[in-house]
Structure 1
Amino acid sequence: MKFIKLVLLFCLFLNFTFLSNAQTPSMIKGDAIYLNPYKGNDTNAGTKESPLKTLSEAAKRVNKASGVGTITVYLSSGIYGMNETADFNPVNQKFTKTNRLIIRAEILPDDISWSPSDMPILISTMSFSVEKDDKGQVTGGQNFGILIQNSHATIQGLRVLGEPVHENPSKGMLIRNYPIVWEGKDLEDLRITQCLFLGDKFASPNHLGVLASGKALEVDHCVFYGVKDAVVMWKNPASNASMHHNLIINSYGGIVWTWSATNDFKFYNNVISNANVLWILDKDEKESFLIENSIIVGYNSYVNKGGGAHGFGENANPEKLKIAKDVILKKEGKLEIIEDQTDKFYLHIKAGTLGSNLGAGLFTK
């Protein structure tokens, strides 16, 4: 009888252990993690056949990795509600310039079968941290969508929205969503490419596409449409940074903030239309910058200095921006944009019109 009881207890123990292991998220299998917002589950293995559901869970799996080598997070098409920050902080995984952390769409814009509806859509639904002034009065709040705390990372092929909130709920208060944030010490090499940042200042404000603090930031072949601020470099000497082949339309903030950028910052083959402020320098106007082979049509302010979340600073010395001979700069006017959502070139410059020859937009081929 005692023997039978021992056997039964042993069987129960094995069954409990099996169930516990089955319900515990596994480590990364291989070098890839797959996501599907409809078929996925965050208790799954994260394989193509058994995908995760959320990007935040993918970040937690990456953060458990240990070793050297590329890790790629693949997002299938669909809508990803970001109810918490996807915080990538893999302290035990070593990435390099060639062995990277890659967060990308399964189907990229240069694929023959790609259409705009294939882009994975990220929209923030998370709460905001509370910010108070010296008197204890609430002045606003912020949240981060994707937070990258490591070097050598690429984000590619995503459609990134803001958050459907009231950006200015009361006088002096500002709440804002930062979809992609690069934050940490001594970071180097972040590339944001072939991403579509979409916003509407009334329905779904997208406050700032890319907030970066590190060296060798590269933002290329992205479209920023209706976004308040496109790119802000705000901490550390941001040397060897670049923005090229981007299309920026209807910005109601500042196109690029070079608070921490050094004068080797490269800005070329960008097309800009209907901008509020073209460029914002740090308050001391320490550096000068060169604009090359770009088209800028329609802007309110040319170059400002200072500013912050609540404002765009004041007029700066216009000679701090050097304009190459191959740049078209017009204060008034607008460019022709394709608004047909069934067109592969949706939200791009209409072929044969001003700005269409510079290769700005989602396509590299």
Structure 2
Amino acid sequence: MKPHLKRHFAFKFFSFNSKVSFFFTILLALANAALAADVVYVDSISGNDNNPGTEMKPFETIAKAIEVVGLAKNDVLTIKLNPGIHVLHSHQKVATQKDLKIRRITIEASILPDSSDWNPEKMPVIVSSAPKGEFPEKERWVVAFLVEESHVSFRGLKFLGYAYPNTQYFPIVRRKMGISDLSVEQSMFVADAQSSVIQVGVLAHGNGISVDHCIFYKANNAIVYYLLDGEGPKSGNRFTNSIVYGASEAAIWTSFPDKDFEFANNLVANGNTFWKRFYKNDASYLVRDSIVVGNQEYHLSMTDNGDKPGPKDGLVDKNVIHEGSVSLRILENVFGSIPRDYLHPIKGTLGADLGAGIFNAPVAVTSSSAEG
């Protein structure tokens, strides 16, 4: 082939490859843009609600992100919260005009507990300053998130209690009937009855309520599986791989009957009552592969005339430890870092090998200070 023809075909080939490369670059950029368009970020320190909500230019408030999720004209269904203290000045309705048949709303930490660069100070903290009275029929109620859709997840968040102890504060509430599939994962609910109260960590009606790998520390009640949704027993409710410590009322409430409730691999210690139910709930519940120690009462039924012992076969134990004491990791001193396994059982003590807590994988331990 003549030299000038070789140069001609080489130029054509180079030009063709450049166009193909450019074409795939554009496709990749569009794919990444589409992926990013599903997510908004919130940073309470550096964000601004006039920003577009991207990772580089996040919103400032959860309220703004919730507003965007609610609109039909975008694809945003995931809210990622950066480390920091996020204050809610009113309850936030978790709802959207979008179709959620094959999708879900997710509110989660931008850095999750199983990430290698996670530590407790990177957990986004949710604090409510909402006034009492937002729910006229419940004048002492304060709610952080009011879930009004099926298919909603919370993941990797830390909820602190409400500042006024004469308040019934509920971080996550689902009151609407006809919806299901609520998931709360890898989250902490940390309270004190005299200074930062949590009445119930999660209160929800109906079916499909899943709490997995969470910690409830000194909340009055960890969770209330509340009213029936229609006739017949509830279904799809579960409480797994979690720690409840120091519940001043009850760790678990099952107000009305369930047919397939799963309670497994949990640690419940040093509270008032382990399990409470409404007296008309005659269902039997399997408690398996768990540690339940140091609670004043094991199983009670709430009646019009006060609490009574729960039905004889109401709780069936399978591989449950009832003896021993639990020691949780606490902060060693105010000048040190918060240990990665904060509020988890100390290595070598009861419950440390259970795997309950906010981590899906085993966690390395450091210090030795304990509460037990």
For Structure 1 versus Structure 2, the TM-score category normalised by the shorter chain is: 0.7 to 0.9
1:239 is aligned, of 229, 235, 238, to 235
Residue type at the aligned position of 2:226: W
**1:306 maps onto 2:299 in alignment:** no
Q: How many residues align?
A: 318
Quick one: percent identity of the two aligned structures? 29
Structure 2: distance between partners of 1:290 and 1:352? 28
Q: How does 1:190-205 map to 2 (within 5 A)?
A: 190-205=182-197
Please state if 1:149 is matched with 2:148: yes
1:45 aligns with 2:45: no
Superimposed CA distance per residue, residues 131-153 of structure 1 (whole angstroms, 9 cap, x where no aligned partner)? 899xxxxx951021011111111
Q: Distance in 1 between matches of 2:189 and 2:312?
A: 28
Q: How far has the Cα of 1:70 moved from its partner?
A: 7.0
1:329 aligned onto 2:336: no
Residue 316, structure 1, aligned to residue 310, structure 2 = yes
CA contact (8 A) 1:188 1:217 kept: yes
- Give deviations 1:150-206, integer Å, cap 9, x for gaps: 111110000001111032xxxxxxx31110112322112111000011000001011
Partner of 1:360: 356
- d(CA) in 2 for partners of 1:197, 1:166: 15
What is the match of residue 279 of structure 2? 283
- Structure 1 position 285, deviation (Å): 2.8
- Listed as ranges, the gaps of 5+ residues in structure 2 are 1-34, 332-336, 362-372
Equivalents in 2 of 1:181, 1:130: separation in Å? 14
Cα pair 2:234 2:259 within 8 Å, conserved: no
Change (3 A) 1:194 1:285: same
Q: Deviation at 1:214?
A: 2.8
What's the CA shift string for 1:222-263, capped at 9, x where partnerless? 011111100101122531111010011111111111113513
CA contact (8 A) 2:210 2:239 kept: yes
**1:87 and 1:46, CA in 2 relative to 1: closer, same or farther beyond 3 A?**
same
Question: Alpha carbon RMSD of aligned pairs, Å?
Answer: 2.3
Question: 2:159 is matched with which residue?
Answer: 160
The offset of 1:316, in angstroms, is: 2.2
TM-score, structure 2 normalization: 0.80
- Secondary structure class of the residue paired with 2:208: strand
Distance 1:50 1:312, change over 3 A: farther
Cα distance in 2 for residues equivalent to 1:284 and 1:105: 39
- Structure 1 residues 70, 352: CA separation in 2 closer, same or farther (over 3 Å shift)? farther
Q: How much has 1:318 moved relative to structure 2?
A: 3.8
SS at match of 2:68: helix
Cα displacement (A) at 1:71 = 1.6
Q: Which 5+ residue runs of structure 1 have no aligned equivalent?
A: 1-27, 134-138, 168-174
Q: CA deviation at 1:312?
A: 7.5
* Cα distance per residue 1:251-296 (max 9 Å; x no partner): 1111111113513100000011101111111221321111000001
Contact 1:253 1:275 in 2 (8 A): yes
TM-superposed deviation, 1:42: 2.2
Q: For residues 134 and 360 of structure 2, what CA distance do their matches in structure 1 show?
A: 41
Paired position in structure 2 for 1:179? 171
| Amino acid paired to 1:182 | R
For residue 94 of structure 1, report the CA deviation from its aligned partner: 1.6
Deviation at 1:122, TM superposition (A): 0.5
Say whether the 8 Å CA contact 1:60–1:87 is kept in structure 2.
no
Structure 1 residues 202, 318: closer, same or farther in 2, change over 3 A? farther
> Is the Cα–Cα contact under 8 Å of residues 37 and 76 in structure 2 kept in the other structure?
no
d(CA) in 2 for partners of 1:181, 1:40: 27
Q: Which residue of 1 aligns with 2:18?
A: none
State the Cα distance separating 1:130 from its structure 2 match: 7.5
Q: What TM-score results when the alignment is normalised by the length of structure 1?
A: 0.82
User: Which structure has the bigger radius of gyration?
Assistant: 2
- What is the alpha-carbon distance in structure 1 between the residues aligned to residue 175 and residue 107 of structure 2? 17
How far apart in 2 are the matches of 1:132 and 1:150?
A: 22
What is the distance in 2 between the residues matched to 1:348 and 1:70?
Answer: 34
Which of 111, 115, 119 is matched with 2:115 structurally?
111
What is the identity, as a one-letter code, of the residue corresponding to 2:119? S
What does residue 77 of structure 2 align with? 71
CA distance in 2, matches of 1:273, 1:306: 21
**CA 281–34 in structure 1, closer or farther in 2 if over 3 Å, else same:** same
CA offset at residue 65 of structure 1? 2.7
Asked if 1 retains the 8 angstrom alpha-carbon contact of 2:40 and 2:76, the reply is no
Distance 1:58 1:264 in 2: 35
Give a deviation string over 1:105-133, Cα, whole Å, max 9, x none. Answer: 00000001110110000111110117899
Q: Which residue of 2 aligns with 1:100?
A: 104
Instruction: Give the secondary structure class of the aligned counterpart of 1:185.
Output: coil
Structure 1 residue 361: Cα displacement: 0.3
Task: Work out the CA distance in 2 between the residues paired with 1:144 and 1:195.
Answer: 17
TM superposition shift of 1:29:
7.3
One-letter code aligned to 2:204: A
Within the candidate set 201, 216, 235, 2:208 is matched to: 216
Deviation at 1:307, TM superposition (A): 6.5
